[in-house]
Chains A and B, each alone.
Chain A
Amino acid sequence: MNHTDIFEIGGKRLGSRLFTGTGKYGNDALIAPVCESSGSEVITVALRRVDLDGKVDNVMRHIPPHMTLLPNTSGARNADEAVRIARLARAMGCGDWIKIEVISDNRYLLPDGYETAKATQILARDGFVVLPYMNPDLYVARSLADAGAAAIMPLGAPIGTNRGLRTEEMIRILIEEMELPIIVDAGIGTPSQACQAMEMGAAACLVNTAIATAADPVLMGRAFGRAVAAGREAWLAGPGAVATLAQASSPLTGFLDQTEGAS
């Protein structure tokens, strides 16, 4: 990884621009090796009722201690529920980062921008580092920025679909118009899509399903880590112009057997 490119956010200096998740693993024991192979330094978790029948393992056992925890407010259908979950998550004592996820659409799991903005305002004022998940809408993004979000997290495609950057044009607009870091979250299905997001100027990518449900999550995690770093370097390197007509790469003179003009 290129460690001279540091992502400063929420009081942290991150050496990786790939955020990962802990959901959907067939085997939670893969979470730690994926953290290592991917180089990710930020990882999401959810908050749920303890399984009183004792069957559910505690995911924290599998998260390396150096990771920054990003609990989400999944389950919240409005701002009040998101705030309640965020405060409970903070009470665990693992930091004050929170991913606001307010969803009442069960088919596409699309986030509710209005409720997300309300929750962002309350929680940012309460000292949280707020990373809100949103549908890429410029007005919602501005509300989130005004409300004190630390970054904006627009979806590329609905959660878990692996459909890539379906919202590419809207994400591009957010990157251009917003000062806050744009972290593409949801829908990224392949390393090349994550690379593309970074080449567009995204500050980071959050990838869960594409890694956790790969046949080899550790290897896929490594691929994503490299792809995000490559895309970031491409962005920093300043890509060349795009043209319609060919522009020769080799000189157009001095060819072998070229007929010189008569004197």
Chain B
Amino acid sequence: MHITVNGRTQDIEPGRTLHELLLSMNLDPSVVVAELNQDIVPCEKFVSTSLSAGDRLELLSFVGGG
């Protein structure tokens, strides 16, 4: 099924959790914040949040800035 991650369309297995998706993308869940369909997903809910077709996901992390 298709979801959008950071503006890019991605094909993922149905029922995949956010935690599983991060790991599959070689991302460390502890340094990422997630906004799913404009709602922030608390980090403790990554493992229990399943993704659905058409979901719009934003994954962000801290970078250098002033």
Interface residues of A (CB under 8 A from B): 21-25, 28, 31, 44-50, 52, 54, 56, 58-60, 69, 71-72, 74, 87-89, 91-94, 159-160, 186, 206, 208-209
A207 CA to B16 CA, complexed, in Å? 44
Contact with A along B26-40 (1 / 0, CB 8 A): 111001110100001
A94 CA to B42 CA, complexed, in Å? 13
Asked whether B62 lies within 8 Å of A49 as measured between CB atoms, the reply is: no
A52 CA to B5 CA, complexed, in Å? 9
Asked whether B63 lies within 8 Å of A47 as measured between CB atoms, the reply is: yes
Asked whether B65 lies within 8 Å of A58 as measured between CB atoms, the reply is: no
Instruction: Tell me the nearest residue of chain A to B8, going by C-beta.
Output: A52
A31 CA to B66 CA, complexed, in Å? 12
Given contacts A87-B40, A91-B33, contact A48 B63 (CB under 8 A): yes
Known: A50-B27, A50-B32, A88-B33. 9 other contacts (CB 8 A): A22-B66, A52-B5, A52-B25, A54-B26, A58-B28, A60-B31, A74-B65, A94-B62, A209-B66
A48 CA to B61 CA, complexed, in Å? 6
Asked whether A71 lies within 8 Å of B43 as measured between CB atoms, the reply is: no
Classify chain B's interface size.
Answer: 20 to 34
Shortest distance between the CB of B62 and any CB in chain A (Å): 4
Q: Give the residues from 8 to 63 in chain B that come closer than 8 angstroms, CB to CB, to chain A.
A: 8, 25-28, 31-33, 35, 40, 42-43, 58-63
Give the chain A neighbours of B33 by CB distance below 8 A.
47, 88-89, 91-92
A48 CA to B64 CA, complexed, in Å? 9
Shortest distance between the CB of A83 and any CB in chain B (Å): 12
- CB<8 Å pairs between A and B, sample of 20: A23-B64, A25-B64, A46-B66, A48-B61, A50-B6, A50-B59, A52-B5, A52-B8, A52-B25, A54-B26, A56-B63, A58-B61, A60-B31, A60-B62, A72-B66, A74-B65, A88-B33, A88-B35, A159-B66, A160-B66
A50 CA to B6 CA, complexed, in Å? 8
Give the chain A neighbours of B35 by CB distance below 8 A.
88
Instruction: Tell me the nearest residue of chain B to A22, going by C-beta.
Output: B64
Asked whether A58 lies within 8 Å of B62 as measured between CB atoms, the reply is: yes
Asked whether B26 lies within 8 Å of A49 as measured between CB atoms, the reply is: no
